[in-house]
Amino acid sequence: MVVAPIGADARNMHAVLEGSGVAGVIASSLPEAAQWVTAGAGALLLTEEAVALRGNRALADAIECQPPWSDIPVIVVTATTSIHRWAEVSAAAFGPRSNVTLVARPLRTSTLVAAVRNVLRARQRQFEMRDLLQERDALLASLETRVQERTAKLRELVTELESFSYSVSHDLRSPLRIMAGYAQVILEDFGDTLVPDVRHYVERIARSAGRMDHLTQDVLAYTRLGGDIVLSPLDLTKVVDDTIEQYPDLSAARQSIVVRRPLAGVVAHGPSLVQALSNLVGNALKFARPGVESRVAISTQRRDGRVRVVVKDNGVGIAAAHHAKIFRIFERVAGPDVPGTGIGLAIVRKAAERMGGRVGLSSRPGRGSSFWLELPASEAAAVPPAN
């Protein structure tokens, strides 16, 4: 790009560049040069006389409005005595984003060609960066589309799995309840007349049917945690009281449960929080040490905008080797004689994650366990941090 309206400078420099393999266009004015900047010119080659003409504002605006990857080079041919002045005023003439190279007269052909080739090499790297950015944007757009398509398919699959789980759980529980009911009738009505072996088998049928029924209920509870939920501020003290009242096993053991009031407020999903708390407190009561009365303490610790709900017991404790896997589905560390399906703590973990929280524990065999559920704090129902 050559703008040199004084004498034959424009034609002469254009001819020199063309002869060296550099394509150029002669612009008749700075506003025309500004249009070439917008169109993506490789570089501008100006004489200081050209810059002195009216129309600098249009060129400065075009340079300022370049895309982020672009930094068009501007070569100004000036007198040796004007080098220092141009170094000071180039930003004012072309704007703060200008990239100006000064070349002093008298101008040699080799100097001009070298200067132009240098700035064009740098400009070529800018165009390569532009192409990479465009390629990246195209890939990101394609990836976003693929993610949306896969997300839609996953949601459809989750919906189908939930429907299937509900159906299976219902279809399984009906015959199980019938089996357990008939076994109980036999034991109640004919238990005294049954030979010991037969009575033993019937009792095993009743127990197995009961365990299977509990398992299907837990699987159903686990799958129900897959839908969308709405989080809201909750009064944790009230949620804990309602949970203990709602579950018969917890209500019967109310004297063994200590709630360290007031509990900090949390942002959570009510039904999911109740499910998690009931499982944690139920486990704490279930895994008691032989001959030791169960004691369960529920408290909160507030830190950094989060609330950690702690359920501490004096039970059998858990070896460190099992801490990493205990929240996985169907993982059990208790013996076969201890009731349970291996899903309760998996439900707690899944519920916590869906509410934007996490779970964990600290425990030692024979020293009890402290399970914790960490959730976002509710400022509306906050209490001072625990000491």
Among 169, 373, 207, 362, which residue's Cα sits nearest to residue 279? Answer: 373
In this predicted structure, what is the pLDDT of residue 257? 93
Distance CA 110, CA 359 (A): 72
Q: What is the pLDDT of residues 74-114, one digit of tens each?
A: 999 988 888 888 877 787 788 888 899 999 988 889 999 99
Q: How confident is the model at residue 370 (pLDDT cuts 50, 70, 90)?
A: very high
- The CA angle 265-302-368, to the nearest 5 degrees, is 100
Least confident of 219-233, 285-299, 309-323, 346-360: 219-233
371: exposed, middle or buried (Cβ count in 10 Å: 0-12, 13-18, 19+): buried
What percent of the chain lies above the pLDDT cut of 70?
86
DSSP secondary structure of 42-58: S-EEEEHHHHTSTTHHH
First to last CA, the chain: 73
Give the mean pLDDT of 359-380.
88
Q: How confident is the model at residue 385 (pLDDT cuts 50, 70, 90)?
A: very low
Distance CA 143, CA 332 (A): 40
In this predicted structure, what is the pLDDT of residue 43? 94
Task: Delineate the domains of the chain, giving CATH numbers in brackets.
Answer: 2-107 (3.40.50.2300), 145-224 (1.10.287), 232-381 (3.30.565.10)
Q: How confident is the model at residue 381 (pLDDT cuts 50, 70, 90)?
A: very low
Q: How confident is the model at residue 135 (pLDDT cuts 50, 70, 90)?
A: very high
